[in-house]
Chains A and B, each alone.
Chain A
């Protein structure tokens, strides 16, 4: 599990770490949106510069980010290969039956690869520099306009924060159950597919049953502590929008404008 960097949080105290989670969510959305506008070397160059500058501002080394890409390597290669062989149009370099390598196909594959990498990197940037809890707070705050259409934002936020709070607890429990079943002779990770699926059952069922019991206990405890519904509550946590949040937003918007105008100018 330790090698799995994707979606992790890396504690730190950089410029990016201190940004408001709402700002970071918005920045990520802007970036991902703009990636789809990029269509030439220059537009990508602008996006790469912005990304590298943002990565530098987190104080986390580029190597760690690249390691975050590793689990997705197969997916990346798969899409690129599909694009190369099934892309059509332009000069044909090589052909064999259905398969062909063409000029446009290669360009498309390269574009897709760039988009993938940029989007993954920018999302990794968000999760590396923001605690899950802050992300939950940010999502709640960004969703708050939906209250107008009677969407239960507070309830959703509570569910999200409870879910996040129980991730480590349930992971511990899953491990305990696995060890307990191992002690009783269940062999995980060997045998054929059927055999392997069968060994999951003695983990899954106790985990589900315990989760139900937990839910009952938690709801009892919440009710005993005066919880009535999501809306009529004050909030202890507070998000503060600072000047650096506005500044980052301006920078991202400026870069987006540059990318879109480069596209319009066909550069």
Chain B
């Protein structure tokens, strides 16, 4: 049974003349890592906000872990979902790292002893325990996002939504945060929904869900999506580095395979192809 089930979802902003999300349906299985990709303004973030009831959909239904999203169930659904947003500064609520991690727990009326214990354990898991009393102004963007993650682990959600959580980070911070998320996903059997236009982040997902101007285009595994090459670029998306290398080789007359390859398999293919000659 799917943990997230969306059917015929539509939403239109009041100041807009077209639907930001237009008749979108999809299912996400428990334990999957699904990346939602699309160019800027394709409705990805709107979709994320609809999923946890920050905005009410005009049409369609959203069912999360067996609960249909309505005004009554919205807080129960938020119990199950943790969300990391794009701007590290604008989601840091607490005055210090520990306060920020505790924020979600305070909202759930946990007692102080449990909070202390969980703050320590959550910060250990994201490797930020040394910064427990630090103020946000003294942290880097990547560190702030890790604190945001710790705040979410502390409430033990079933689903983690990343709304372009790595887009304001440097490459190092981005790699670190993705590695942390992967470790957490395995540990807690999380379902991860990452909204991104970082194509390398998308490449590490189990499935990719493509949307374009609010329309659902396709859901498939990364191999299939990235083999579309030219179509991706037309939609304003990028292709992974290995795919770019392949295309560059193809324009120089090298006969490259049609199937999608990641960097490892491309390297394998390259040195084997030299051997054949």
Q: Check if A236 is an interface residue, CB within 8 A of chain B.
A: yes
B111 within 8 A of A: yes
Contact of A228 among B75, B87, B102 (CB under 8 A): B75
Report whether B104 and A168 are in contact in the complex, using a CB–CB cutoff of 8 Å.
Answer: no
Q: Which residue of A lies closest to B90 (CB)?
A: A217
Q: Which B residues are CB-close (under 8 A) to A169?
A: 89, 136-137
Q: Given A164-B95, A236-B99: A217 and B87 within 8 A (CB)? A: yes
Segment with Cβ contacts to B, from A198-206, A218-226, A247-255: A218-226
> Footprint of A on B, CB under 8 Å?
49, 52, 54, 75, 78-79, 81-83, 85, 87, 89-96, 98-99, 102-112, 115-116, 119, 135-137, 151-152, 155
Nearest B residue (CB) for A213: B90
* Interfacial chain B residues near A225, Cβ < 8 Å: 78, 82-83, 93, 103-104, 107, 151-152, 155
A187 interface hit (Cβ, 8 Å):
no
A136 CA to B99 CA, complexed, in Å: 14
SS class, residues of chain A in contact with chain B: helix
Chain B contacts of A218 at CB under 8 A?
90-91, 93
Q: Does A2 contact B (CB under 8 A)?
A: no
Taking A225-B151, A236-B98 as contacts, is the C-beta distance between A217 and B112 under 8 angstroms? Answer: no
Q: Compute how far the CA of A136 lies from the CA of B95 in the bound complex, rounded to whole angstroms.
A: 11
Docked-complex contact A221 and B90, CB < 8 angstroms: yes
Across the interface, A165 reaches (CB within 8 A) one of B94, B106, B107, namely: B94
Is B102 a contact of A236 with CB atoms below 8 Å? yes
A231 smallest CB distance to B (angstroms): 11
**A165 in contact with B95 (CB, 8 Å):** yes
Residues A217 and B95 in contact in the complex (CB < 8 Å), given A165-B136, A172-B137, A236-B112: no
Closest partner residue, chain B, to A137 (CB atom): B95
